[in-house]
């Protein structure tokens, strides 16, 4: 139900990075991903896995198979590129894209936990956000998703943390504690919507409305630049919650497989766009900008759909054998 939305958000991140386009749409998209994750983790814990030991183990195993194989594929590609492309060229392209210099940094890059944004070494540059995702996967799966009360309390705590960051003139965007707010808001949204039985079967219209509203929201935010970005980030959580609610009520068997493929593609787009951009930049001499976006985007999309249709089934077979 959220596949096309996730696909669109991933493309916004690609546009932001490879186009060297400053602005808030990509930051809002990442927090949109966080809210979706909080919503879906609460949903699957309550409706699929349950909270006994068996359910928790299966939850962790499924999350690991979803996150790590594709991620490891992305860091292998990065290592190959670093081995063949001059290091000075790569440093100019992305300062964090380098071979880890010590065991601890290798550990962080292999297992994601501990990766941070900025100049820290990251074989897959946007993987710092996966570190935040994994932290809240555990917190939600083991604690807060048990009840609305726990999720609401956590929401209040993280809201206070965000307000404190704003008071200290700090951006909540990449802060691990502040990032808990969209995750918990997603959880609250799940508890609020799950008892409503309404369903809408018009997948195309629902997604068209959401994507148009998102684009208009991004445009409006750019116009109202007098309002501090951090304030927009918090306000947008309310707007995005409305989008999630609309798509939650949209269930169409006709587009179910397509929507899933688009959602699965979004993860590969997120993981691989920097590497594909590097290849194109090195081979064809393009610099970051709109031309690079328009050349790289179809390549990333085609590679992503190919991996969803070929690599993901292999990982699924391995998971089933291990089960």
153: pLDDT confidence band, cut at 50, 70 and 90? very high
Q: How confident is the model at residue 286 (pLDDT cuts 50, 70, 90)?
A: very high
Mean of pLDDT over the chain: 94
* Residue 140's pLDDT band (cuts 50, 70, 90): very high
Q: Please determine, for residue 183, whether its predicted confidence score (pLDDT) is greater than 80.
A: yes
Does residue 80 belong to any structural domain of this protein? yes
Q: Does the structure show a pLDDT above 70 at 295?
A: yes
Residue 225 has what pLDDT?
Answer: 67
Q: Is 241 domain-assigned?
A: yes
Is 5 part of any domain? no
Residue carrying the six token digits 């540059």: 125
For residues 165-190, give the mean pLDDT.
93
Q: Per the domain annotation, does 16 fall within a domain? A: no
* Position 318 in a domain: no
Q: Is residue 223 part of a domain?
A: yes
Domain count within the chain = 1
145 in any annotated domain: yes
Whole domain around residue 83: which residue ranges? 24-253
* pLDDT at residue 206 greater than cutoff 90: yes
118 occurs within a structural domain: yes
pLDDT at 22 exceeding the cut of 80: no
pLDDT at 30: 95
The pLDDT score that the predictor gives to residue 226 is: 60
Over 90: is that where the pLDDT of 200 sits?
A: no
Question: Per-residue pLDDT for 115 more than 80?
Answer: yes
């Amino acid at each position: 139900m959220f596949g096309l939305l996730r696909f669109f958000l991933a493309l916004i991140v690609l546009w932001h990075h490879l186009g060297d386009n400053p602005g808030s749409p990509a930051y809002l998209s990442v927090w949109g991903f966080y809210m979706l994750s909080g919503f879906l983790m609460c949903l699957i814990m309550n409706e699929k896995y349950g909270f006994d030991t068996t359910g928790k183990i299966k939850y962790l195993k499924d999350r690991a198979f979803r996150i790590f194989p594709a991620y490891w594929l992305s860091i292998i590609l990065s290592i190959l590129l670093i081995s063949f492309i001059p290091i000075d060229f790569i440093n100019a392209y992305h300062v964090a894209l380098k071979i880890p210099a010590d065991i601890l940094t290798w550990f962080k890059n292999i297992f994601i936990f501990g990766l941070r944004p900025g100049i820290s070494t990251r074989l897959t540059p946007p993987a710092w956000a996966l570190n935040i995702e994994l932290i809240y996967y555990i917190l939600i799966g083991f604690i807060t998703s048990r009840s609305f009360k726990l999720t609401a309390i956590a929401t209040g705590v993280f809201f206070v943390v965000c307000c404190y960051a704003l008071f200290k003139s700090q951006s909540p965007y990449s802060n691990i504690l502040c990032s808990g707010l969209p995750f918990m808001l997603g959880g609250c949204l799940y508890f609020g919507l799950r008892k409503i039985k309404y369903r809408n079967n018009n997948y195309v219209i629902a997604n068209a409305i959401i994507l148009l509203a998102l684009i208009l929201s991004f445009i409006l935010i750019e116009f109202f630049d007098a309002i501090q970005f951090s304030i927009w980030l918090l306000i947008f959580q309310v707007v995005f919650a409305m989008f999630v609610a609309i798509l939650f009520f949209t269930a169409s068997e006709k587009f179910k497989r397509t929507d899933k493929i688009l959602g699965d593609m979004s993860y590969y787009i997120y993981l691989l766009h920097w590497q594909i951009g590097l290849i194109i930049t090195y081979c064809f001499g393009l610099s970051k900008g709109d031309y690079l976006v328009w050349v790289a985007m179809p390549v990333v999309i085609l590679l992503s759909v190919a991996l969803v249709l070929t690599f993901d089934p292999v990982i699924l077979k391995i998971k089933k054998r291990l089960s």
